[in-house]
Homo-oligomer: A and B are copies of this chain.
């Protein structure tokens, strides 16, 4: 049960931007160096973040990426969604004999999986990017 690296790196990279941008575009090269993430991989990740309107890009020299929303408004769930990291942890067997349609026929564990989803989802829904930085500042 784990988050994939794309999602993890996305959160790390965006947190990095929130810390190190001074209202300027942040280049992937800088993020790559600071966070130790492959530049080529970051490009792939930011393509998705851009398509999903999490960041916008500035081309050319001194270019880079800028957060569309402020860290206070950017939910972690938005980031995960952009990377297709569905927080739907697991379903129940659909193709068993006594198949579970989720309504009239529910398998024994159906409600449990639903609760698990809600539990995890709400965590990501309620966390903002700025929340990650707060605990960082508290440490410094």
- Total count of chain A residues near the partner, CB < 8 A: 48
Tell which of A22-30, A47-55, A131-139 binds the partner.
A131-139
Determine whether the beta carbon of B16 is less than 8 Å from that of A120: no
Copies of this chain present in the complex amount to 2
Determine whether the beta carbon of A95 is less than 8 Å from that of B1: no
CA distance A106 to B109 in the complex (A): 38
Q: Which of A26-84 contact B (CB under 8 A)?
A: 33-37, 80
A90 to chain B, nearest CB (A): 5
Q: What B residues does A80 contact at CB under 8 A?
A: 1
CA distance A87 to B133 in the complex (A): 24
Determine whether the beta carbon of B95 is less than 8 Å from that of A16: no
CA distance A88 to B37 in the complex (A): 21
Partner of A89, one of B3, B97, B109: B3
Residues of A within 8 A of B (CB): 1-4, 7-8, 11-12, 15-16, 19, 33-37, 80, 85-90, 92-93, 95-98, 106-109, 111-113, 115-116, 119-120, 123, 127, 131-133, 135-136, 139
